[in-house]
Chains A and B, each alone.
Chain A
């Protein structure tokens, strides 16, 4: 996750409280999605950004995950994400993001 986005997530979390935050990540493949999920839960794995050593433990989802999909209007989902869902490796993205959530999310 780039340094500017890390800073934004950190600032928003300080402002609204970690328990009130959900991060939606848009990485197009499993590895980058997993790294982003790790960044907002366990802290920046590259130790280069504002979240280095800062385990926020936020709730984090990728839009292709069922938890998100089931909580939004199916028509809008189809229109906005349907196409990407067909071309992405959904299973491995879910596996990566869920693994990070299960291990590091505190909320």
Chain B
């Protein structure tokens, strides 16, 4: 008799990361799970939104790196914490466009819902990696890509959360503001299918807006190219989203949400070191990359292979951007530009490295 037995306020447990708990940023991302019987950070906004209907009885906090690197263990610890409070509702986030936070929110909301049977939801930006991973499993409220969208997010989270916990009917993604879950519902209409289809076709022909009843899934699949015929004669280029740049980051590539990429000459460079290279990336601990950038773009190893004749040659330039929070649309645009240059320069194959 969840919710019904106490007749009082709906009990909520809220999950946030170390940043929103005010513990710290990247340097505190290894913070281990803890629970506090208070309302923190975004919970204050939720509390204001819930008014007297629901009460956050506890906030679970976990560092993003800790969760990401110890998923099974972290999940177990957090589940135990949530279970102890036997809440009527569980809310994780919102995570906006923070990738590891989004994945953590999705993972834990999914687990609380399916393993503890407690209604759960989370919220994040549609391009957050956690969105694609979990939007079919749990309700994910669609938010803006930064925390400036907190108020909007809360406005959508509160009514959806209350409906979930009360078992009320949930409207369509467009009505409620959550990401599409790939679920279709039957309904009655007075126009039959052929008529609706013809109406849509006429609108389409006139160039007018129309709304499809069967949206195609958005597959982002890239068919692999045929194998390189003779690798010993091939020119190989390096392309990276790991933020590799010459020392001093001359093009000022942004440490997150990059708006540009760089093209850098590595002629005569046989080994990267703290004097000639560093990373601009703001989403991981840069110490090891700055110490030896070959760890992000393996110039040293490719030079050896070049010398041994195992590859034709290493292309003179590498292309680099920062993948941290960078919009997929921007990344595609960058690649469309420099892929043409790579082809024009006679590059046969590209090694893509991440972080």
Contacts and interface: CB of A to CB of B under 8 A. Distances in A.
Asked if A and B bind, the verdict is yes
B197 interface: no
Interface in A42-56: 45-50, 52-53
A23 interface: no
B22 A45 contact: no
A47 B19 contact: no
A3 interface: yes
A45 B41 contact: no
A35 interface: yes
Interface stretch (B147-155, B175-183, B331-339): B147-155
Contacts, number: 35
B150 A46 contact: yes
A53 B19 contact: no
Contacts of B45: 47, 52-53
A14 B145 CA distance: 33
Majority SS at the chain B contact face: helix
B352 interface: no
B44 interface: yes
B148 A46 contact: yes
B160 to A, nearest CB: 18
B150 A45 contact: yes
A48 B98 CA distance: 13
A43 to B, nearest CB: 8
A49 B44 CA distance: 11
A48 B147 contact: yes
Task: Bin chain B's interface residue count.
Answer: 10 to 19
Contacts of A48: 19-20, 22, 41-42, 147
A49 B148 contact: no
B148 A47 contact: no
A35 B146 CA distance: 12
A53 B150 CA distance: 12
A45 B20 CA distance: 12
A53 B48 CA distance: 9
A53 to B, nearest CB: 3
B44 A53 contact: yes
A48 B150 CA distance: 10
Interface string B34-63: 000000011111001000000000000000
Interface string B1-43: 0000000000000000001101000000000000000000111
A52 B44 contact: yes
A47 B42 CA distance: 5
Contacts of B20: 47-48
A53 B19 CA distance: 16
Contact of A52 (B41, B146, B148): B41
A3 B147 contact: no
A75 to B, nearest CB: 34
Interface string A1-32: 00100000000000000000000000000010
A43 B41 CA distance: 11
Contacts of B148: 31, 35, 45-46
A31 B45 CA distance: 20
Contacts of B41: 47-48, 52
Interface string B134-154: 000000000000111011000
A53 B46 CA distance: 11
Nearest to B42: A47
Contacts of B19: 48
A10 to B, nearest CB: 12
Nearest to B46: A47
B150 A49 contact: no
Given A45-B151, A46-B147, A52-B45, 11 more contacts: A31-B148, A45-B148, A46-B148, A47-B42, A47-B150, A48-B22, A48-B42, A48-B147, A50-B22, A52-B22, A53-B45
Which 7 residue pairs of A and B lie closest in terms of their CB atoms, listed nearest first? A46-B147, A53-B44, A47-B42, A47-B45, A47-B41, A48-B20, A47-B150
26 contacts: A31-B148, A35-B148, A45-B148, A45-B150, A45-B151, A46-B147, A47-B20, A47-B42, A47-B43, A47-B44, A47-B45, A47-B147, A47-B150, A48-B19, A48-B20, A48-B41, A48-B42, A48-B147, A49-B22, A50-B22, A52-B22, A52-B41, A52-B42, A52-B44, A52-B45, A53-B44
